[in-house]
Amino acid sequence: MPFWPTIYPSKKEGIQPYAKVLYLSPILEKRAWSAVVGVVAHELAHIVLRHPVEGVDPKTYNDNEKAAWLKVEEWGFVAQSRRCQAIHKWRESYDKYRIQKLKDNSG
Ligand SMILES: [Zn+2]
Protein backbone atom coordinates (compact mmCIF):
# COMPACT_ATOMS: atom_id res chain seq x y z
CA MET A 1 0.00 0.00 0.00
CA PRO A 2 1.28 3.46 -0.72
CA PHE A 3 1.68 4.65 2.83
CA TRP A 4 3.33 8.02 3.37
CA PRO A 5 3.35 8.40 7.14
CA THR A 6 7.09 8.14 7.82
CA ILE A 7 8.80 11.51 8.19
CA TYR A 8 12.47 12.05 8.91
CA PRO A 9 13.66 15.34 10.41
CA SER A 10 15.76 17.55 8.16
CA LYS A 11 19.52 17.39 8.52
CA LYS A 12 19.91 20.90 7.11
CA GLU A 13 22.07 23.42 8.98
CA GLY A 14 23.63 20.77 11.18
CA ILE A 15 20.43 20.05 13.07
CA GLN A 16 20.58 16.41 14.08
CA PRO A 17 17.36 14.57 14.62
CA TYR A 18 16.89 12.98 18.02
CA ALA A 19 13.50 11.47 17.37
CA LYS A 20 11.46 10.09 14.54
CA VAL A 21 7.73 10.48 14.34
CA LEU A 22 5.55 7.86 12.76
CA TYR A 23 2.16 9.31 11.89
CA LEU A 24 -0.59 6.83 11.16
CA SER A 25 -3.86 7.87 9.60
CA PRO A 26 -6.93 7.62 11.87
CA ILE A 27 -8.57 5.72 8.99
CA LEU A 28 -6.43 2.81 10.08
CA GLU A 29 -8.67 2.40 13.15
CA LYS A 30 -11.45 1.27 10.82
CA ARG A 31 -9.38 -1.55 9.39
CA ALA A 32 -9.24 -5.18 10.51
CA TRP A 33 -6.80 -5.81 13.35
CA SER A 34 -4.46 -7.89 11.18
CA ALA A 35 -4.25 -5.05 8.66
CA VAL A 36 -3.44 -2.57 11.45
CA VAL A 37 -0.66 -4.83 12.74
CA GLY A 38 0.68 -5.28 9.21
CA VAL A 39 0.71 -1.56 8.45
CA VAL A 40 2.33 -0.55 11.74
CA ALA A 41 4.99 -3.26 11.41
CA HIS A 42 5.61 -2.22 7.78
CA GLU A 43 6.13 1.43 8.70
CA LEU A 44 8.40 0.50 11.60
CA ALA A 45 10.38 -1.69 9.20
CA HIS A 46 11.01 1.36 6.97
CA ILE A 47 12.45 3.16 10.00
CA VAL A 48 14.58 0.19 11.08
CA LEU A 49 15.87 -0.21 7.51
CA ARG A 50 16.57 3.55 7.33
CA HIS A 51 14.61 4.05 4.14
CA PRO A 52 14.43 7.66 2.99
CA VAL A 53 10.98 9.12 2.41
CA GLU A 54 11.88 11.71 -0.19
CA GLY A 55 14.04 11.75 -3.30
CA VAL A 56 13.61 8.09 -4.13
CA ASP A 57 13.26 6.87 -7.70
CA PRO A 58 10.44 4.41 -8.49
CA LYS A 59 12.72 1.36 -8.60
CA THR A 60 14.27 2.17 -5.20
CA TYR A 61 10.80 2.86 -3.83
CA ASN A 62 9.60 -0.57 -4.96
CA ASP A 63 12.76 -2.25 -3.65
CA ASN A 64 12.27 -0.53 -0.27
CA GLU A 65 8.65 -1.63 -0.17
CA LYS A 66 9.67 -5.25 -0.76
CA ALA A 67 12.43 -5.03 1.83
CA ALA A 68 10.01 -3.60 4.41
CA TRP A 69 7.51 -6.42 3.83
CA LEU A 70 10.32 -8.98 4.09
CA LYS A 71 11.37 -7.44 7.41
CA VAL A 72 7.76 -7.63 8.65
CA GLU A 73 7.70 -11.33 7.78
CA GLU A 74 11.12 -11.83 9.38
CA TRP A 75 9.58 -10.42 12.59
CA GLY A 76 6.93 -13.13 12.40
CA PHE A 77 3.99 -11.19 10.97
CA VAL A 78 3.72 -13.30 7.83
CA ALA A 79 -0.09 -13.49 7.67
CA GLN A 80 -0.45 -9.75 8.31
CA SER A 81 2.15 -8.96 5.65
CA ARG A 82 0.49 -11.16 3.04
CA ARG A 83 -2.94 -9.74 3.84
CA CYS A 84 -1.73 -6.15 3.45
CA GLN A 85 0.08 -6.91 0.21
CA ALA A 86 -3.00 -8.67 -1.19
CA ILE A 87 -5.18 -5.66 -0.31
CA HIS A 88 -2.63 -3.38 -1.97
CA LYS A 89 -2.58 -5.44 -5.17
CA TRP A 90 -6.36 -5.51 -5.29
CA ARG A 91 -6.51 -1.75 -4.76
CA GLU A 92 -3.98 -1.06 -7.50
CA SER A 93 -5.88 -3.16 -10.03
CA TYR A 94 -9.19 -1.60 -8.94
CA ASP A 95 -7.70 1.90 -9.37
CA LYS A 96 -6.45 0.98 -12.85
CA TYR A 97 -9.90 -0.37 -13.71
CA ARG A 98 -11.60 2.83 -12.49
CA ILE A 99 -9.16 5.08 -14.38
CA GLN A 100 -9.72 3.06 -17.57
CA LYS A 101 -13.48 3.26 -17.05
CA LEU A 102 -13.26 7.06 -16.72
CA LYS A 103 -11.17 7.26 -19.91
CA ASP A 104 -13.66 5.04 -21.76
CA ASN A 105 -16.60 7.17 -20.66
CA SER A 106 -14.95 10.50 -21.50
CA GLY A 107 -13.99 9.64 -25.07
ZN1 LIG B 1 6.08 1.11 2.64
pLDDT digits (tens, 9 = 90+) for 32-67: 999 999 999 999 999 999 998 888 999 999 999 999
Distance, CA 95 to ligand 1 centroid (Å)?
18
Domain that holds residue 38: 6-106
Inter-residue contact 49 to 61 (CB < 8 Å): no
If you measure from the C-alpha of residue 14 to the centroid of ligand 1, how many angstroms do you get, rounded to a whole number? 28
- Is there a domain that residue 83 lies in? yes
- Within a domain: residue 100? yes
In a domain, 69, yes or no: yes
Nearest CA to 56 among 46, 48, 70?
A: 46
- Asked, for residue 76, whether it belongs to a domain, the answer is yes
- Look at residue 19 and tell me if it is in a domain: yes
Residue 61 CA, ligand 1 centroid: distance in Å: 8
Going by pLDDT thresholds of 50, 70 and 90, the confidence category of residue 10 is low
Residue 58 maps to a domain:
yes
12 Cα: distance to centroid of ligand 1 (angstroms): 25
pLDDT value for 17: 56
Domain count, the chain: 1
C-alpha 104 – ligand 1 centre gap (Å): 32
Q: Is 86 part of a structural domain of the chain?
A: yes
Q: Is residue 79 helix, strand or coil?
A: helix
- Identify whether 1 is part of a domain: no
Whole-number Cα distances in Å, 95 to 4, 27, 37, 89, 102: 18, 19, 24, 10, 11
